[in-house]
Structure 1
Amino acid sequence: MIFKHLIRVLLCFIILTSAGQSALALSSTDIGLTVDLLNQDPDPVKPGEVLEVSFSVQNTGSEEVKNVIVELVPEYPFNKMSGQTSTINIGTLGKRYVDERSKTVKFKILVDNNINAGQYPLEVLVYEQGKKNSLSISEEFLIDVDSESNAEIESISLEKLVPGKKTNISFVIRNVGNSPLKNAMFSWESTNDLILPVGSSNVKYINFIDVQDTVTVDFQVLSNINTIPGLYKLDMKLTYDDVEELQTITQAGTVENQKRKTIESKAGIYIGGTTDFDIVFIEQTMEGDYSFSVSNIGNNKASSVTVSVPEQEGWSIKDGSNSAVLGTLQKGDYTIADFSIIPDNYNEFLPLKFQISYTSSDGERETQDRELSVFASEPVELLQHQSAQSSGSNKGLFPALIVLLIVGFVIYKKKKQ
């Protein structure tokens, strides 16, 4: 009897111990609930975009679980969106082998705008309402983030280049991607080396370009004086390091992968265009006209050249037109332009303004202003006319003087007698 009693006590102890272990099992993190990542949209997601994640929550236990809470814990680079919840009550999950033992839940979060590509952990908690601290499970899922960098040559400061004239050209480079650019190298070259850098090479180095930032690189360039006017191609190349930081839960920690990327583009630069003029006073004709020499001292041909004297103080147009048509002037050519103009004052230097208009080699109408200091002298014809008038007056005066002398002599004689 005593032996049977001992056996009964031992069996009770075993049953109580098993029940205690079951209770401990239910109070641990293994309460029969599991969570899996079904989908991320978009996949991969880009910095600054809205990410939608879908999870499947299942009850694999032998008892149903009521008031199941699914909580998203967004940490950098994920942020909670305004108007979106991070905690959802999915209700009751039936025990295993029951149709209603699993449910799907979705969340929307915002990805930080300034992150590199990689995999970033997103934590999800699942627990029974009111038992978060004692009966909850925690899972972390890796979200793929694509932070591919990209750059563009945003603008070029120069459209036309005058042969033989040193000119500054600026290239503006913008980082239009979502990760910084490092160790960038920019270079350019023209067709048949018609455009060459002066004082430096055609390569510039840039250490760092942050997201959406721009960097300007400058060159002094020159084209040969004998270059035929026309549109020429400019090839540009930009190479840089695209640094992607892959943040994963590994013993190695953060791993940096560097990718050398190259962007090639081209642009057109017109060589030719404008030219330059010089105007010099030559002489004043007997009629009072003023003659000037107009020279094309630039490096391009000028077509349909006209020179005009605009309305101005100190001068007026005597007769005829105030402009002269000179036609086409090749570089180095000159011709004569005459103007019938009258100064307000004579025998002094007066400023005289000109406007020189022409069609450049690229078809654009251009105008240049010039000013000379011209000595305004009286015309030869006017001087001769004044001399003739003075001579005629003297001829009429001479007989009168003779008559006066005779009359005076007669009066003198009579008084003496």
Structure 2
Amino acid sequence: MGVKQYISFIFMILFSLLLCSGTSLAESTINTSSLDKGLSVDLLNQDPDPVNPGDVLEVRISIENTGYDDIENCFVEIKPEYPFKALSGEKLVESIGTLGKRSEDDRRKVLKFKVGVENDINEGSYPLKVYLYSTDKKKKVSLTKELTIDIDSESNAEIEYISVEKLIPGEKTKLTFGIRNAGNSPLKNSMFSWESTNDVILPVGSSNVKHINLIDVGETANVSFEVLTNVNTKPGLYKLDMTLTYDDIEELQTITEAGYVENEKRKTIESKAGIYIGGTTDFDIAFMEQSPTGAYTFSVSNIGNNGANSVKVSVPLQENWTVTDGSNSVVLGNLAKGDYTIADFNLEPVTVGEELPIKFEISYTSSDGIRQVEENVISLYASPSTLQAGSKMTEESSKSSMLSHKLLFLLLLGAAGFFVYKKHQKKVIEKNAEANLTGENQTDEKKMDE
């Protein structure tokens, strides 16, 4: 073989290889590009539309092949990223089998997916990523599409509760306010404050303002204050004014490239509530004296900061003491704060010579018109010279006196009987003597006659 022939042979081989390589590369380019361009992923609808923070979102997705070749072993996957999240029990990957080419009926599939929406998201439109791919060895394809999901956000808050309905004058009380996020977006940078009419109620140890960084959707934040009222405050219902301000992100929000929210607005909610000052009071009972007949005298004092009406003191049934005579209750009438009065009870202890607890019940109408019952227990010494001992001594003395009278009567009766007996005996003797004398006289007369 000549040199020219050899060179021509080598050139033909290289040209053939280049031609084959170009054909294969062209086929590969056509397969990938044409299949990718023939696929489409579209959002048919979302439910609800728009969706609220914290809700469950359902999306219906349309998958379609408009290419000239079938695509086998196709899968669709949802990969939720913030503000979306996977839900327990819900599939994120769905197999759709074969997508027919553009002229076939099975070229289009419709799928449903459910994902959750985070609570702390603001209003706006957010991307939900969808992946379409196949495991066909000959025609592997993949496509990523971002579906635009509209999220609504409405901020709203309310004072859910106040822990205390009544305050006792002069008594420090913990006052707690429950602030509930009733909207569907988080409350950020909240500030709560309150004040009462004429400063009748004042905070102790802190101001009347508290800050809360975040209140999530549906949650309640508690803020507490130690409060005090003047001891001389007139009982009644007083107004409490409350103010809540927080960041409200609405139509004017702007999402910057760094992801921060600008143009925040402050929203203010003002409300009022009534709180009663007054109510119950406290009592003190002390032993004063014991009479010789067994009556115990007690002092009853209103030591609280409120007046008490229709006060009644009772000695209920108990183990150590018994009411022996009269009623077990004493009506004392009205007692203003600082006033006192006395109550008497005829009591008999179970034993004498020791300290015994005794229980009292004090019922009264408080300044808010509610009937109250308070128990009070004191220790009372049971003296031997009680009504019980006095009664026994009187009984024994009475028995002794009766015995003496009976004995004296029997003595007198015996003396009288003895006197009558003696007198009767005297008469019998005199009568016998007279009879003897008469008999002797008759005998003498008879002798004289003879």
TM-score by length of 2: 0.66
Kindly indicate which of the two structures has a greater share of residues assigned to strand: 1
2:366 to 360, 382, 385: 360
Q: What per-residue deviation string (whole Å, max 9, x for no partner) do you get for residues 363-413 of structure 1?
A: 333222223444555369959x87x969x99xx9xxxxxxxxxxxxxxxxx
Distance 1:348 1:91, change over 3 A: closer
Structure 2 residue 346 is matched with structure 1 residue 340: yes
Shift in alpha-carbon separation, 1:103–1:259, aligned structure 2, 3 A = farther
1:194 corresponds in structure 2 to: 200
| Pair 1:28-2:33 in alignment | yes
Q: Provide the rounded CA distance (Å) in 2 between the counterparts of 1:216 and 1:57.
A: 50
State the alpha-carbon separation in 2 of the partners of residues 315 and 291 from structure 1. Answer: 14
Letter in 2 for 1:169: L
The 8 Å contact of residues 90 and 103 in structure 1, kept in 2 or not, is answered as no
Secondary structure in 2 matching 1:287: coil
Q: Tell me the secondary structure at the aligned position of residue 165 of structure 1.
A: coil
CA RMSD of aligned residues (A): 4.3
Distance 2:226 2:133 in 1: 69
Conserved? CA contact 1:58–1:93, under 8 Å: no
Deviation at 1:233, TM superposition (A): 3.5
Letter paired with 1:86: E
Is residue 2:126 matched to residue 1:120?
yes
Cα separation, 1, equivalents of 2:300 and 2:23 = 116
Confirm whether residue 256 of structure 1 aligns to residue 256 of structure 2: no
**Match of 2:419?**
none
Q: Does 1:110 align with 2:115?
A: yes
Q: In the alignment, residue 28 of structure 1 is paired with which amino acid?
A: S
Other structure's SS at 1:227 match? coil
Alpha carbons of structure 1 residues 206 and 251: separation in structure 2 relative to 1, 3 Å:
closer
| TM superposition shift of 1:47 | 4.2
Whichever residue aligns with residue 140 of structure 1, its letter is E
What is the match of residue 163 of structure 2?
A: 157
Q: Taking structure 1 as reference, are residues 177 and 87 closer, same or farther at Cα in structure 2, changes over 3 Å only?
A: farther
* Kept after mapping to 2: 8 A contact 1:28/1:134: no
1:141 is aligned, of 126, 138, 147, to 147
In the alignment, is residue 311 of structure 1 matched against residue 317 of structure 2?
yes
Quote the Cα distance in structure 1 between the aligned partners of 2:98 and 2:165: 64
Deviation sequence 1:135-154 (CA, Å, 0-9, x none)? 44432222233465655544
Question: Does residue 295 in structure 1 map to residue 313 in structure 2?
Answer: no
Matched, 1:184 2:190: yes
Which residue of 79, 88, 95 corresponds with 1:74?
A: 79
The superposition leaves residues 238-274 of structure 1 with CA deviations (integer Å, 9 ceiling, x where unpaired) of 3334689xxx9x9924233455444444443222210
Amino acid paired to 2:94: S
Counterpart contact for 2:71–2:136, Cα < 8 Å: no
Using the alignment, how far apart are the partners of 1:171 and 1:223 within structure 2? 18
Seen in structure 2, the aligned counterparts of structure 1 residues 357 and 128 have a Cα distance that, compared at 3 Å, is closer
Query: Cα–Cα, structure 1 residues 127 and 308, in superposed 2: closer, same or farther, change >3 Å?
Result: closer
Does the Cα contact within 8 Å between 1:31 and 1:135 map onto a contact in 2?
no
Contact 1:50 1:108 in 2 (8 A): no
* Residue deviations 1:61-82 (CA, integer Å, cap 9, x gap): 6x46565946233232342663
Q: Greater RCO between the two (CA within 8 Å, min separation 6)?
A: 1
Q: Distance in 2 between matches of 1:105 and 1:20?
A: 35
Secondary structure of 1:220's partner? Answer: strand
**Residues 236 and 133 (structure 1 numbering): CA distance in 2 closer, same or farther, change over 3 Å?**
farther
Asked whether the 8 Å contact 1:25–1:31 carries over to 2, the reply is no
Count of residue pairs brought into register by the alignment: 367
Gap change, CA 1:261 and 1:25, over 3 Å in 2: farther
Q: Deviations 1:114-134 (Å, cap 9, x if unpaired)? A: 552354322334567727974
User: Does the CA-based 8 Å contact 1:358-1:365 persist in structure 2?
Assistant: yes
CA contact (8 A) 2:99 2:108 kept: no
Q: Post-superposition shift, 1:86?
A: 2.8
Aligned-partner residue type, residue 333 of structure 1: D
1:220 is the counterpart of 2:211:
no
Partner of 2:278: 272
Q: Distance in 1 between matches of 2:199 and 2:156?
A: 29
TM-score, normalised on structure 1?
Answer: 0.70
Amino acid at match of 1:106: L
Q: CA deviation at 1:313?
A: 4.6
> What secondary structure sits across from 1:357 in the alignment?
strand
Q: How far does residue 339 in structure 1 lie from its aligned partner after superposition?
A: 0.8
Bigger shift: 331-340 or 270-279?
A: 331-340
Structure 2 partner of 1:44: 50
Distance 1:115 1:275, change over 3 A: closer
One-letter identity of the residue aligned with 2:199:
D
Which runs of no fewer than 5 residues in structure 1 stay unpaired? 1-16, 397-417
Which position in structure 1 is the counterpart of 2:61? Answer: 55
Larger Cα-atom Rg: 2
Q: Percent identity?
A: 54
Q: Do the aligned partners of 2:357 and 2:378 also contact (CA within 8 Å) in 1?
A: yes
Please name the residue that 1:369 is paired with.
375
Question: Matched residue of 1:27: which SS?
Answer: helix
Shift of 1:356: 1.0
Q: Does 2:92 correspond to 1:92?
A: no
Q: Give the whole-Å Cα distance in 2 for the aligned partners of 1:115 and 1:205.
A: 19
Letter in 2 for 1:252: E
> SS at 2:33's partner residue?
coil
